Amino acid sequence: QQQVKQSPQSLIVQKGGISIINCAYENTAFDYFPWYQQFPGKGPALLIAIRPDVSEKKEGRFTISFNKSAKQFSLHIMDSQPGDSATYFCAAIPASGGSYIPTFGRGTSLIVHP
């Protein structure tokens, strides 16, 4: 059962444009929401993360927006570059004390055209 739904499955943007990837979760026991970036032949690497008590977090060109009431969060990549072309995964990590099953979205393949 997919507990984190990620969209779109694929995304093509032009260099300099904004890439937006969305995720929605169901389980309110999650309390940490990281985004991972994965290049072909490599494992996922942590990009940026947020907690539900914060509505937005920005690190360089990457921003997470978080809507706790809607149980949704999104990744915005500003000024997208060809080097950003990769697969992006959102994830939801359970709070301490309960069942621990980190849950990932199915990924978004981003292509940034030069």
Partner 1 sequence: KAGVTQTPRYLIKTRGQQVTLSCSPISGHRSVSWYQQTPGQGLQFLFEYFSETQRNKGNFPGRFSGRQFSNSRSEMNVSTLELGDSALYLCASSIIIRAETQYFGPGTRLLVL
**What x-and-dash track marks residues 52-71 binding partner 1 by CB under 8 A?**
--------------------
C-beta of 43 vs 114, nearer to partner 1: 43
If phi over 0 gives left and psi between -120 and 50 gives alpha, with beta otherwise, what is residue 31?
Answer: alpha
**What x-and-dash track marks residues 6-35 binding partner 1 by CB under 8 A?**
x-------------------------x-x-
Nearest to 23 by CA among 56, 66, 61: 66
Candidate list 42, 58, 68, 113; residue touching partner 1; CB under 8 A:
42
Candidate list 29, 49, 61, 111; residue touching partner 1; CB under 8 A:
49
- Give the number of residues in contact with partner 1, rule: CB under 8 A: 24
Residue type, 104: F
Residue type, 83: G
Rounded to whole angstroms, the Cα distance separating 9 from 31 reads 24
Asked if 15 and 80 count as a contact pair (C-beta separation under 8 A), the reply is yes
Enumerate binding residues for partner 1 (CB under 8 A).
6, 32, 34, 36, 41-46, 49, 89, 91, 93, 96, 99-107
